[in-house]
Structure 1
Amino acid sequence: MKRYCFAFLALVLFSFVGSAQKLSANEVLEKAIAFHDPNGNWSNLKATFKVIMETPSRPKRTSIIAMDFPQQVFTLDVEQNGNTYAYSFDKDSCEISLNGSKDFSQEEAEEFRLNCERGNFMKDYYTYLYGLPMKLNDPGTQLNPEVQKKTFKGKEYLVLNVTYDAEVGTDEWYFYFDPSTYAMEVYQFYHDEDKKDGEYILLEGLEDINGIKMPKTRAWYVNKDDKYLGTDTLEKHQTK
């Protein structure tokens, strides 16, 4: 009797693994999005959250990020080493302030890298990383149809490979998903994969932001030598 039970379990397991192997890249992405954004809230997100960045060689940086996609509004308020600066985007307009004032010198602008081009970069940066994996459906994203299986840090993952149209980006990305829950747990990018440059990011924990399961912590490392770069931690923002 036990032999038949074991055979039955093995057959069920084989069938499960076999079905997982047949999933296309689009199907894996759909399941990952269903895990992270089960109610489809991303496209109409209106939320404010805090990101605390800690690196070995720089003071702690605290960023308050507000996104309102329906109104096309994005604000970023940063505090680091006793100074504060802010970017505010309302549709196509861009405003910058330093320590509460919009009147600052050219020297201060250069010291703190305050310009609208930099602000747009930060807006795209936060929108992209906290919008994953949903952002993989954006125009200009080239999803490799092959689902890879890779073992990373001792765990096996389903991996999606993504490149971008030239006007969108030039890096090559890999996204690692838990094969049972489809939670995104690692992502990795290369400028030139043959040179093993670029970075990988380990994701741990989840924070619910308006119904979206975003990574709680992201730890950044260099691909080539595993050098640790820093960790950012996501928190809900408590308004005063």
Structure 2
Amino acid sequence: MKHLFLLITLCYVTISQAQDITGSELLSKAIAFHDPNGNWKTFDGEFKVLMESPNSSNRLSTISLNTPQQKFSLLVEKDGDSYGYHFDKGICNAFLNGSNEISEEDIKSYRLTCDRGETMKNYYTYLYGLPMKLRDPGTLLDDSVQKKTFNGKEYLVLKVTYDENVGNDVWYFYFDPETYAMEVYQFYHDESKNDGEYILLEGLEEINGIKMPKTRAWYMNKDNKYLGTDILSKS
């Protein structure tokens, strides 16, 4: 009877702790899993992302990021061409097939503007910096942690919104309740319309001591339409 009482007490404490955890505490535990040594803030490395989608040829992107020196570069290889951007302390240069001399026609065709480059820089540093990027200024964490079942598994879910000058989308991040690994995230432009997408994460690839999701499969919220998969690898 004593052992049974102890077991019941332990189960109650576990459930109680899961219920009482705050959004900030959940994020701290998730960051401790993915970036146990705090390497993201001084990240200096390179990785590749292969994008597969049902209506397009494969695209291979090589991302180089040196946070201390404020450098970022993106090299895209697709259909026999290579193009991308270099950023060095905010100074942007675009290139196509090894040359910075790009015609107006090709700038338009390949969308090789620095505005586009800035968008891609923010895209890759945000997605591959998660969940650590949720500590960035302008990120608003919901204090209440939800429990949701997704694809038959129960998760601890963190709702995130942003200051107006940062973004208008609503995001939900799904964490394993035991390991605190990030396994799903989802965003809406207008949640009442069930728009936006959800992303399923599988496997882990360790890059510079950070456990990043190996694959990201993208789907539409409204009809579960499959959009594509990103596959991460070391450079």
What's the CA shift for 1:148?
0.6
CA shift digits 1:85-124 (9 cap, x unpaired): 0200000211111011111211111111110000000000
Query: What residue in structure 1 maps to residue 139 of structure 2?
Result: 141
Query: What residue in structure 1 maps to residue 126 of structure 2?
Result: 128
What's the CA shift for 1:8?
3.2
For the residue of structure 2 that corresponds to 1:12, the secondary structure is helix
Query: What residue in structure 2 maps to residue 232 of structure 1?
Result: 230
Partners of 1:18 and 1:167 in 2: how far apart?
37
For the residue of structure 1 that corresponds to 2:205, the secondary structure is strand
Do residues 115 (structure 1) and 113 (structure 2) align?
yes
Partners of 2:146 and 2:231 in 1: how far apart?
29
Equivalences for residues 146-161 of structure 1 within 5 A = 146-161=144-159
- Aligned CA RMSD, in angstroms, stands at 0.9
CA shift digits 1:41-93 (9 cap, x unpaired): 11000010000000000110000000000000000000011111020000021
TM-score by length of 1: 0.96
Amino acid aligned to 2:166: V
Query: What residue in structure 1 maps to residue 51 of structure 2?
Result: 53
Amino acid aligned to 1:161: K
Match of 1:26 among 16, 24, 27: 24
Do residues 200 (structure 1) and 198 (structure 2) align?
yes
Identity %: 62
Q: What is the total number of aligned residue pairs between the two structures?
A: 235
Partners of 2:3 and 2:197 in 1: how far apart?
46
TM-score by length of 2: 0.98
Partners of 2:182 and 2:107 in 1: how far apart?
37
Equivalences for residues 150-189 of structure 1 within 5 A = 150-189=148-187
Segments ≥4 residues shifted beyond 2 Å: 3-11
Query: What residue in structure 2 maps to residue 90 of structure 1?
Result: 88
Partners of 1:150 and 1:99 in 2: how far apart?
47
What's the CA shift for 1:4?
5.2
